[in-house]
Amino acid sequence: MSTVFAPTITYKVPKRRHPVLHFMVHQPLGAAGLAVIVLMAFAAIFAPLIAPYDPLTVDYGAMLATPSWEHWIGTDSFGRDVLSRIIYGSRTALAVGFLASFLGSTGGAVIGVVSAYFGGKIDMIIQGVMDVLLSFPIIVLALAVVAMLGQNIVLGIDVNLVIAIAIPMLPRVERVVRSSALAIRELPYIDAARTAGFSHTRIIFRHIVPNVVAPYLIMLTAYVAQAILSEASLSFLGLGVTEPTPSWGLMLSGAAADFYQQAPWMIVFPGVAISLAVFAFNLFGDSLRDWLDPKIKI
């Protein structure tokens, strides 16, 4: 009697690619934006080691010096090295940008979740306030807030400037998070949690918050670019960072406008730094949205 042996079938389980590598492969533009952001962060952290000169040192013998081996992108009207001020200016841009975006996005997300979950009069009152804030353009509302609050420097950062930039973000983030939370609130497992007697706090933090993290992260990343642009605009108008603190927006105002024909590098390079930073964060934010969206995720 012959024995029949069934063939052994082996299945090769594909290796799961690391999330960062997966993002870089499927979102190359986002990876490029992230690379620029990392370089900016590196320059901001190690500015004392990278910058060739002290950004506050005045050299009247080198005023409006053209780009050379000594000053790679020239000097300003006070003889200060423009490259050094741009490198140190990344500290101001990233600090204000991240803090304002985190404050505005987190505050808007909290308000959106509370408004969607409780509904009724609470939702009506909150949406009325958000409608009032939405009626003002972002820069106009930021101008009004910073003009009322003035300056309040803490650890080298103008806290009132951060608040002024964060407030216009609240209603915009709140609307996005609220729409996601409203859809989640109507799902059967939320009703089951209520029926089981779970507290509002547990339902919100256990079932709703984890499901609105993706839109929150997308808005948080996208609004860093908006915060950097707002800080530069306010500093340009004289309501943000003040001299002699290095700031990209501040470098475009004052003497730069007077000497733009004689020393165009005073305007060109800070403008390029602002544009590159905003472009990088927008690229990364859009790619992060595509990557986290389950409908279009590869």
pLDDT digits (tens, 9 = 90+) for 64-88: 888 888 888 888 888 889 999 999 9
Q: Summarize pLDDT for 3-44 with one digit per residue, the tens.
A: 554 455 454 544 555 666 666 666 778 788 889 999 999 999
Say if residue 246 is preceded by a cis peptide, omega within 30 of 0. Answer: no
- Element of type H or E holding 84: helix 82-118
Q: 193 near 264, Cβ under 8 Å? A: no
pLDDT single digits (tens) 141-194:
888 888 787 777 776 677 888 888 898 889 989 998 998 888 888 788 787 887
3-state secondary structure 93-157: HHHHHHHHHHHHHHHHHHHHHHHHHHCHHHHHHHHHHHHHHHCCCHHHHHHHHHHHHCCCEECCE
Residue 166 identity (one-letter amino acid): A
What is the reported pLDDT for 205? 84
Q: Report the CATH number of the 38-292 domain.
A: 1.10.3720.10
Report phi then psi at 158, rounded to 5.
Answer: -80, 100
Q: Evaluate if residue 99 carries a pLDDT over 80.
A: yes
Residues 100, 226: Cα–Cα separation, whole Å = 10
Percentage of residues in the chain having pLDDT higher than 70: 87
At position 150, the amino acid (one-letter code) is: G
pLDDT at 135 over 50: yes
Q: What pLDDT, on a 0 to 100 scale, did the predictor assign at position 273? A: 92
For the chain, the domains span 38-292
CB 91 within 8 A of CB 77: no
- This prediction's pTM: 0.82
Q: 103 pLDDT band (50/70/90 cuts)?
A: very high
